[in-house]
Amino acid sequence: MANLLVAEGHEIWGTSRNLERIPKIPRWHPVRLDLADPLFIEAAFNAALTEAGYFDVVINNAGAGHFDPAELVPMATITSQFQILVFGQIQLMQLALRHMQTRGEGLIINVTSLASRLPVPFMAAYNAAKAAMASYTMSIQLELGNSHVRVVDLQPADIRTEFNQGVIKSAQANPRYDTKIARAWEVAERNMKSAPTPDLVARHVLRLVNSVQPPPRITVGNAFQSKIAPLIFRFLPQRLRLWGLKRHYQI
């Protein structure tokens, strides 16, 4: 996303916990940000805002994942998932909204996930956090009314990134779940390898940035995951949704 936006002439303030991970590219300004620390979030945003003067667009794109049975997932993992994927991003969105409402315009893109509607087995905290962020985004959209500050829920399906390499997996063996976990992970890895590249998401983000009336929600991914599956699931009873997902993940 940042590479494409910089190529289009935009100035980018890109964040990471480790500034060495941010490429040294003209018009790409590194900002250290740790979403696990609420005080850090406000300080980082204000410092970047002081340097930039104003922001036209803010993109919430932080990610973190886990792979555990919902029955056994540690509370520390659940807390961490919600801090990074919900609480920290809401705080950043609120800071951006105050700034943009004062200016009278702006765009916020919250990158949630198709998993908020089609959950991935053994990622219950991730699914729930993404669903919470999607719901919070829709609530903000309701309340803003005719404001010229737009908020978009961008829901990627599988996108070929290094996300799976960073997923925290349980080290404890459990005979009731081990076979299912192995099968589901194999499907998740196969889906990732055949998924579209991040360029697809970047092009959609550029369209949103250039749009006068961006849609409130878009789903990005291959045709089946992003268009056909959500349409089918919308009309299926919960029993059939569960059956379909179990078959897909071979559990």
Active site residues: 126
Residue 154: strand pairing partners: 111, 218
Residue 54: CB atoms within 10 A of its CB come to 11
Kindly list the distances between the CA atom of residue 69 and the CA atoms of 79, 111, 123, in Å, as whole numbers in the listed order. 16, 25, 8
178-215 CB burial, b ≥16 within 10 A, e <16:
eebbeebbeebeebbeebbebebbbebbbebbeeeebe
Which residues fall within 8 angstroms of residue 131, CB to CB, at 6 or more apart?
112, 115, 116, 117
Distance of CA 82 to the CA centre of its chain: 12
Strands 106-111 and 217-220: what pairing?
Answer: unpaired
Distance, in Å, from the CA atom of 246 to the CA atom of 251, rounded to the nearest integer, reads 5
| Token pair recorded at residue 204 | 């959609």
